[in-house]
Structure 1
C-alpha cells in the first residue's frame, strides 16, 4: 500500500439506503466487522462516538481519520473513502494501514449485503475471522467476475465468483453457502494476514460446521495462526 489510501465502490442501492447502512445499528450489524463478545459496543464506538457528520445523508468522518462520501450513480450509488490528512500536518501513522485494509474487507461485505435479496440480507449473519500468514499461491488468481471452483478443505467442491481483488486481498463469493463471502488477506505493512468468512441465513449448526472446517484448513495453509 502506498502512503495514500482511497477506496471507490459502486453499490447497487440508492444513496439514502447506503447512508442508512452507515448509521442505523440494525443495518450496520448486517455487514460490519465480525462477531465477538464486544460487538455491540464496537458498533457504537466506531459509528456513533467516533463519527462527525459533515453533510447529513452524504458525508461523514470516522475517528478523524477517514472520510466517507455517498453520491448517486446510474447503478445506485458510489461510496468514496479517503484518508483525512492529520490536522497538525504530521506524517500519517503507518500503524493505520491494517485498519484501512479492514475497511476494504468490511465495505466489500456492505457491497455484498446490498447485492443480496433483502430477505437474505436480513437473515442470520455468521462471520468468523482468524489471523495468520497465508502462504503464496493460496487461491485462484482469476480476476473479479470470474467463476472459480476449488476443494479448499474437505471433500466438498466449492464454487462461486471472484467478488473483488486488491493488492492484499481476494474476496470469493461462495454460492453453496448462501452466497457467502470468503475473504483472504495477505500480510500488510504493520500487520498480518487473515481470513474472514461471512454467510447469511444458515443455521447455527451448519455455520459452526463450516467454521470448523475453515479453521482447520487455515491452520494448514498459514505459517502462524494466533489464537485470537
Structure 2
C-alpha cells in the first residue's frame, strides 16, 4: 500500500447519511434553530448539532495561529482567514498518487467560490523542505490553479504538521501520539467556519464529496 490509502466510498457515504439524518431530527426538535452543519470538537470527528449559543459554549476547539508563505511568496496567516470560511487540504508537489485527484476536487470548490471574498482555499504542503515558494508557483502554473483565493502554503514543517494533526485533526485515527518526524498523509479536506471551528470533513479524492462540500459551504456562508 502507498502512503495515502483512501478510505472506502462506503464509509463516507454512510457517514454523510447519518449526519444528514441527525441534522434533520435535531432541526425538527429545535424549531430549525440547530445548524444543519455539525461542529467537530475532537479528533474522532463526532458530530455536534447545536444552535449558535450552544456552540459558543461547548465547542472549544479552534484552528491555531500560523504564519506561512503562499505560492506568490506572500505571508499568509490566521489573519487572512479571520471572519471567513476556509477549506484546507494537505498535499505535496511530487505526489503522483492521490494528489492529482485532490487538486481536481478542490477545483470543483474553486469553480464555485473563486470570486467570493468570504472564502479561502488552502493547500498545505506536507513536504515543505522540497516545496519552496518557486516550486509551489510552478506547480500552480502546471495545474492551472488560478483562483486568487486558493493558496498553496509552505514554511516550517513543525508548524504545518502541528496544524494538520492538532488543529485540523487531519489524521484523526492517529490522535496526538504520532511521531512528528514521520511523513504526514491524509486525503481529507477540512471545512472551517468564520470562527475557526471545524464544520466538515470530506474525502478529497471523490467528486461526490467535493459537491457535498460546496453545498455545506453555501450553507455556512448564510450563517451570521
Is the pair's TM-score, using the shorter chain for normalization, greater than 0.5? Answer: no
Q: Give the TM-score normalised by the residue count of structure 1.
A: 0.28
More helix by share: 2
More strand by share: 1
- Structure number with greater CO (CA < 8 Å, separation at least 6) is 2
Q: Give the TM-score normalised by the residue count of structure 2.
A: 0.28
